[in-house]
Amino acid sequence: MNKPNVWLAASPEQKQEIMTVADNYMSFVSLAKTERRFVKSAIQLAEGFGYKNINDYVENNLPLKPQDKVYYNMMDKAVVLFHVGSAPVSQGMNILGAHIDSPRLDVKPHPIYEKDGICLLDTHYYGGIKKYQWVTVPLALYGVVFLKDGTHIDVAIGDHDEDEVFIVTDLLVHLSHERMTKPADKVIEGEQLNALFGSIPAAGVEKDPVKANILALLKDHYGIEEEDFLSAELELVPLGKARTCGLDRSMVVAYGQDDKVCAYTCLLAQLETSDETIERTSACLLVDKEEVGSMGATGMQSRFFENQVAELMNCLGQYNELNVRRALSNSYMLSCDVAAANDPNYSEASSPNHNMADFGCGVSIMKYVGSRGKHGSNDASAEFLAKLRQILDDDKIVWQMGELGKVDQGGGGTIAYILANYGMQVVDCGVPLMDMHAPYEVSSKADIYSALQVNKCFLKNMK
């Protein structure tokens, strides 16, 4: 069965819209490289569409009504948006979910040390990476430092052309004969992913003079002492803005597209349908910690989403425990996480017989993900897939079915199975990527556009 192609199916007007959506996405993702920066940008955008903080309703005992739009900010690292429908929430919601964390290098609690006249920043990598890909890549430093008195210090080094950057070194090829005989996962060890942080010694300091100079600069520029790193969240991420790729300008190269490309198209779909009168409540759920198992207060394993559904229903006068259970079990969800695209350079890993997502053929719907033998997979029901096929085909949206690769090559996970624990109908659905989890990942502009169209269709038409 031949797959349709978004570019071939698009009218000239739609092709222009594809480029416009991609331009807006690249601007957004270039600024929103970390969870905190994504949440801040998402809330600013949502407030422009009339969304209000649900805490204002909860704290002031104010009622909500159908067609109201609210959001909840979970510790600045996750966010959920609700557009209240005319039907009782207990009849179910249409939910778009994605994660906003991406592989990176996290700064350790005791990060600054000097060795052989060089000051280094000690890191701990976050998520599944090929460690050798992260050397010799210019890095920016983003995050927050909280002082003991409650002072909040934002750190953003790399936003401007004149800013300093950081880098993890690699051994020169001339001295690498022995190292190059090691397996790929051992060529660079985790403890070697330490970034260059300085090399000028402080005058008159005998012990660790370069570190002393760095600490003085931190104190002067940011008011940060060495011990303040104990209450800091700092991330090293690849430098630079998202860029157009290909002579035909058909693709996007950017850091963190897993899973910010899906998170952005979820967010935009939620906002762009917010001026319509809807029957079923819609929700956009953007969470943290998926790359490390969805644990923690801001991850999908947390109950913060369930708690906010309860708060929403309470403000609507619809709350009781049974109604919350019904709302969750009667919901439909697209778990929007990126798919593995067929890469012609590495076709030996691709699932055969058109079961791998192809660039330009639209968003990839994945009945199951998981790994070897579908381990850890949600495995969506045939009934739900039939409903989804119907509404997408009725809207003439180009999409495709896909897997993550050959059966015994490996696999991956998403947040789908966690929401499915409530008994709701969930399926994985995402933009195909090449170079997934590398410092820079590649997507098709046509597939980004398809994801937006699929998400909007789902919110409006799934019943």
Domain that holds residue 200: 105-238
pLDDT reported for residue 373: 75
Instruction: Look up tokens 């067929």; give the residue.
Output: 342
Can you give the pTM of this predicted structure?
Answer: 0.96
Q: How confident is the model at residue 405 (pLDDT cuts 50, 70, 90)?
A: confident
In a domain, 189, yes or no: yes
Instruction: Look up tokens 């994660």; give the residue.
Output: 99
pLDDT reported for residue 403: 85
113 with 191, same domain: the answer is yes
Identify the domain boundary among 238, 264, 285. Answer: 238
Q: Rounded mean pLDDT of the chain? A: 95
Q: How confident is the model at residue 439 (pLDDT cuts 50, 70, 90)?
A: very high
pLDDT reported for residue 113: 97
262 with 366, same domain: the answer is yes
211 with 265, same domain: the answer is no
125 with 75, same domain: the answer is no
In a domain, 243, yes or no: no
In a domain, 1, yes or no: no
- pLDDT tens profile 153-195: 999 998 888 999 999 999 999 999 999 999 999 999 999 999 9
CATH number at residue 155: 2.30.250.10
pLDDT reported for residue 1: 61
278 with 378, same domain: the answer is yes
> Could you tell me which of 17, 450, 429, 81 has the C-alpha nearest to residue 271?
81
pLDDT reported for residue 380: 87
pLDDT reported for residue 407: 79
- pLDDT tens profile 330-372: 999 999 999 999 999 998 888 887 888 999 999 999 988 877 7
Arithmetic mean of pLDDT, 92-116: 97
Domain count, the chain: 2
Arithmetic mean of pLDDT, 105-114: 97
- pLDDT tens profile 283-320: 999 999 999 999 999 999 999 999 999 999 999 999 99
| Percentage of the chain exceeding pLDDT 70 | 100
Contact of 340 with 356, CB cutoff 8 Å: yes
Peptide bond into 68 cis (omega under 30): no
136 with 178, same domain: the answer is yes
- pLDDT tens profile 232-247: 999 999 999 999 999 9
Arithmetic mean of pLDDT, 197-224: 95
In a domain, 326, yes or no: yes
pLDDT reported for residue 369: 83
pLDDT reported for residue 266: 98
44 with 132, same domain: the answer is no
85 with 174, same domain: the answer is no
Question: Has residue 395 got a pLDDT over 90?
Answer: yes
